[in-house]
Amino acid sequence: MTETATTSGRQILVTGGTGSFGRAFVRRMLGSDPSCVIRVFSRDELKQFEMEREFHRDPRLRFFLGDVRDRDRLGRAMQGVDWVVHAAALKHVPLCEYNPAEAIKTNIIGAQNVVDCAIDAGVERTVGLSTDKAVNPVNLYGATKLCAEKVLVHGNAYVGPRSSRFAMVRYGNVVGSRGSVIPLFLRQVPSGVLTVTDERMSRFWISLDQAVDLVLDAFATMAGGEIFVPKIPSMRITDLARAIAPEAMIKEIGIRPGEKLHEVLLTAEESRDARDVGPHYVVGGQVPGLGTPGEGGFVYASHTNTQWLSVDRLAELVQELESRAA
């Protein structure tokens, strides 16, 4: 991390802090900085109880029960906070499709509450988490995350003389997170049949550690208004199935409503405003000249990616996940 990204002595609030990303972020911070204090904000008391035990009741952790829909409670939790990581979201595509009002309340109104409370509390920097499903969305989850991107990015227009700044990170499927296809495949292994919705499907692949790295890079370099997009490899869903169970039969069950064959991290329009800064692209932002401007017009999509994970490499990564979970 650069000097501007140091967490030393900082108060950090993580919304949705009991989720897969939140736990990985907390683990990284507690392991690397003895002086930071982290507030975990989430609505599930059982997950908070389990997380408190997982981290051996570390005195640097504070647990706030609350929902990002509740602006008053969120505002209370942000008092004295330096940085906010906004990871809270309803993210399961079929559930969001069936419960659209609930997805809107959490993913859009919740994002607006984060912006308003951060400005009121004088939070220095806020980084929100987005998804490739927000690009050209075909499902409600993606649409709400697109709105959340706009809410946070344009939150910078409302800070006035305050020092608060907002940015987003946008990445693909997180390996091993809740709702990931890997746990599903592992459960299906004993049956000898792995189900895929469409054999042509491809996805971007990012690990939790890489996602944490991206957020820390965003904190380090953000000026306000950026969307940080990592350069990550793609995988074919059938290759992942073969990596987990080489002898199993692959059964195609049909694409689900709101599901894409391939995902996109940058549209042609966005790429004209993207800077290549090495490990990732940066779209927009208040300070011009960050990195090298791209030629524009390219689409960063999972099926046309230049980086691909082989079956052998996928098998190694799955084994690493299983060994960590053991």
Active site residue ranges: 133
- For β-strands 61-65 and 173-174, DSSP reports them as unpaired
E strands in 108-248 = 125-131, 165-171, 173-174, 193-196, 202-206, 226-230, 234-236
Residue at token pair 């290549």: 276
Q: In what order do the strands lie in the sheet with 37-42?
A: 61-65, 37-42, 11-15, 83-86, 125-131, 165-171, 226-230, 280-284, 274-276, 292-293
Write b or e for each residue in 245-261: b if 16 or more Cβ atoms lie within 10 A of its Cβ, otherwise e: beebeeeeeeeeebebe
Which residue in 101, 100, 98, 74 sits closest to 88, CA to CA? 74
Separation in Å, CA 6 to CA 9, 241, 249: 9, 40, 49
Q: Where are the strands (E) in 9-141, listed by range?
A: 11-15, 37-42, 61-65, 83-86, 125-131
Q: Determine the 3-state secondary structure of 181 from DSSP.
A: helix
Over its C-alpha atoms, the chain yields an Rg (Å, rounded) of 19
